[in-house]
Structure 1
């Protein structure tokens, strides 16, 4: 996906798929592949250069900020604890980027996907985050599971058309291009990875029965295992979901995706292919709530 490009699924452009092997739906986003054979790294994951002075400066900076934060937290006058005019009043529920609403997360589910979201702003954000995870999962590469995900997350009025378009998008050629077999299965000895991890959500428009929610995400996509030529890489993107209140739950009417915001890469060395495969198989996901 070129920078600034935006592709949708559902709505006027429900396919949301190009010939690019890492495009939009189902965790397939544009990525940069590092082929094995570079240097003395035999696992197919290139290694970063040795840490330089920048790493030391960053580490010192973090320590300084931590000390400053502790000092700030411990300061403040004595007295009766009322805080006077300097006391910071709590923000309204859901107003801050990390503020918990205090409302319990959804407890129902539709198959493996959370369901029964609240008919309010928190419920819309929770629905959008959980739907983003499902639509970016490896299950989207299996037709039966994909049809179930689309049915569980979308407005019934668009499901039939969307399922047909996704069947065409996930063609044998496309599946081969991402390293899978033509039927969507994973080659022996490898682990296919496609995960979407929401970083935050924001409601940009809302009425009684509709909501537009942006979900800022990072994602993992690629093939883990010895001999993989498509190593697992991280991507950053924002999904915009237009939700409708249908049948006592939020459903997607249409959605689109844009690249970024993307932070600067850290100084972490890439793990081995086996470490990535073990992590994917060993760590499960979450039910997201505001």
Structure 2
């Protein structure tokens, strides 16, 4: 991809570049040269995605000395691994968690879960895409974005370039993979009505299957999401994305098409709450 080819979902230029391997680990032919339509993949499939971090539990519990003796001595108390902080969200709009705490922690959780939704394969199907956009974006932004997103995702040239049929589904014998996996989040600005959250994440994108010429590959990005408090919840108004940080790759053999397909089908995602 050359400079100037990158655009976001809304047709605006971005600085995003997705670097895919030149050879096909699934044994297919070499990938055709990328066109400007291919650059949409960065945004529409992988890049437009909003994310946040998995919450690690902090150790807690009773600070008083233990009187336990015998074979139970030294065993952790039942509260020693209890999580702390705001309760994870308990409500959903469809499959997307909603109803976040009105604080910085809630903003991070919202960014993480919304990024996962916006980076999913469901964005390539009209009905589910409309549901996601209406849930994730602030109402005034969602109305402005919906038409542009429909145009981008329904382009037969674009869909063909990434190996999908004109209805956004994968060809027979192949599985379409589009996932965002949050690694961490950071609040860069916070107020009662607005927040800015950086999300560092890795994304998986491509087609698994013996005949695939666009095998599943990974990319790393950090996206800053602008959130607003509206309707008693956090919603997205805008985002800016940059590459990395990208870890050093291990010398690991790529999995077979069968193994990748099984993994996609058998391993589900998470609800992220910090």
* TM-score, normalization by structure 1: 0.70
Please name the residue that 1:284 is paired with.
268
Aligned ranges 1:30-179 → 2 under 5 Å: 30-36=18-24, 43-44=27-28, 101-170=84-153, 171-179=155-163
Alignment of 1:199-238 (within 5 A): 199-238=183-222
**Cα distance change, pair 6–42 in 1 and its aligned pair in 2 (3 A):** closer
Which protein is bigger by CA-based radius of gyration? 1
Structure 1: unaligned runs, 5 residues or longer: 47-79, 81-99
Runs of 4+ in 1 over 2 A off after TM superposition: 5-9, 14-18, 33-36, 41-46, 100-103
Question: What secondary structure sits across from 1:122 in the alignment?
Answer: helix
Report the 3-state secondary structure (helix = DSSP H, G, I; strand = E; otherwise coil) of the residue aligned with 2:176. Answer: strand
Q: 2:224 & 2:122 partners in 1: Cα distance? A: 21
Deviation for aligned residue 1:35: 3.3
Residues 213 and 240 of structure 1 are in contact (CA less than 8 Å); yes or no, is this contact kept in structure 2? yes
Preserved CA contact (<8 Å) 1:217 1:236: yes
Q: Deviations over 1:94-128 (max 9, x none)?
A: xxxxxx64322111101110000000011000000
1:249 counterpart = 2:233: yes
Matches of 1:245 and 1:107, distance apart in 2: 18
Alignment coverage as a number of residue pairs = 222
Deviation of the 1:201 alpha carbon: 0.3
CA gap of 1:272–1:7, structure 2 versus 1, over 3 A, is same
Q: Secondary structure at the match of 2:221?
A: strand
Residues 132 and 239, structure 1, Cα contact 8 Å, conserved in 2: no
8 Å CA contact 2:26–2:212 kept in 1: the answer is no
C-alpha distance in structure 1 between counterparts of 2:252 and 2:26, whole Å: 18
- Kindly tell me: are residues 158 and 15 of structure 1, through their superposed partners in 2, closer, same or farther at Cα, counting changes over 3 Å? farther
In the alignment, structure 2 segments of 5+ residues that lack a partner are: 31-64, 66-82
Q: Secondary structure at the match of 1:227?
A: coil
CA contact (8 A) 1:34 1:230 kept: no
**Distance in 1 between residues matched to 2:141 and 2:11, nearest whole Å:** 11
Q: CA RMSD in A?
A: 2.7
